[in-house]
Amino acid sequence: MTAHREQAKHRLYLEHALGQGQAIDLSRDHAHYLFNVLRLNTGQRVALFNGTQGEWQAEIVATGKRGGTLRCLTQSAPQRMPPDLWLVFAPIKKTRTDFIVEKAAELGAARILPVQTDFTNSERIRQDRLQAHALEAAEQCGGTYVPQVAQLQPLSRLLDGWDTSRALIFADEGLSGAPAPETPLPPAPAAILIGPEGGFSPAERARLRAMDHVTPVPLGPRILRADTAAVAALTLWQATRGDWS
């Protein structure tokens, strides 16, 4: 295996400054992952990113059971910031919530905000676990940015403090089968709101529709599952307003 392919296969997020010649002392967990799980050794390379300084190729210069040392060599990719698009969603079953967070990170959401709606099935989340899923997704998809996963909060509270300069795209299941809107999706800064499995309550739908900065949109002729709707809405926005176009 060539060094180039080796670097492309193994990527690691570190909360550490990166730069040419920078020495990085590994934590016990990171050392275990690189040396015991991946079976890497001195002289081999791994790609590093910290969310702000792009991707760097680093060489393993020391290994140990409880730590190790890497040295940054060259920058292999510049920092790529996503469009200013948030995903706001109601948590569903555990594995499907994990899926939403992973795909949101892969699709370029800048921030992920779980909300408690009137019909949300899940009353709590493990924010640290979901953040870890977002980080792992960034590692695997070649991204250099890791979106923040916020703590769960009531939708009503989020709307009370909403900055009206950020458009809110409301995926309204009540519009299923309606013609696609003639006006394009709002540009960034924007957010996409996906409801729970039971949909939004009449009171929530009425409040959202009364807000000037909210754009209700259908997501095709069929009612989508919440996790499918999140992926579909992010994809549509990225294709028309984001960094895919």
- CATH number for the domain harbouring residue 14: 2.40.240.20
Query: In angstroms, rounded to a whole number, what is the distance separating the alpha carbons of residues 191 and 214?
Result: 10
Q: Which of the listed residues 77, 103, 129 is the one where a domain comes to its end?
A: 77
Q: Which of the listed residues 52, 77, 102 is the one where a domain comes to its end?
A: 77
17 in a domain, yes or no?
A: yes
210 in a domain, yes or no?
A: yes
Supply the CATH number for residue 137's domain: 3.40.1280.10
Pair (23, 105) in one structural domain: no
Pair (24, 140) in one structural domain: no
Query: In angstroms, rounded to a whole number, what is the distance separating the alpha carbons of residues 2 and 7?
Result: 9
Pair (125, 177) in one structural domain: yes
Strands 55-63 and 68-77, sheet pairing: antiparallel
56 in a domain, yes or no?
A: yes
149 in Cβ contact with 127 (< 8 Å): yes
Pair (103, 161) in one structural domain: yes
Q: Which residue has the tokens 């940054």?
A: 72
Strands 214-217 and 167-171, sheet pairing: parallel
Displacement of CA 70 from its chain's centroid (Å): 27
Note the pLDDT of residue 6. Answer: 47
Number of folded domains that form the chain:
2
Note the pLDDT of residue 66. Answer: 87
Pair (105, 197) in one structural domain: yes
40 in Cβ contact with 34 (< 8 Å): yes
Note the pLDDT of residue 142. Answer: 92
Pair (71, 89) in one structural domain: no
pLDDT tens digits, one per residue of 65-87: 889 999 999 999 999 999 999 99
164 in Cβ contact with 188 (< 8 Å): no
Note the pLDDT of residue 4. Answer: 41
161 in a domain, yes or no?
A: yes
245 in a domain, yes or no?
A: no
Low-confidence spans in the chain with pLDDT less than 70: 1-8, 177-178, 180-182
Q: Which of the listed residues 47, 77, 107 is the one where a domain comes to its end?
A: 77
Pair (136, 230) in one structural domain: yes
Note the pLDDT of residue 178. Answer: 67
User: Residue 116 belongs to what domain range?
Assistant: 85-240
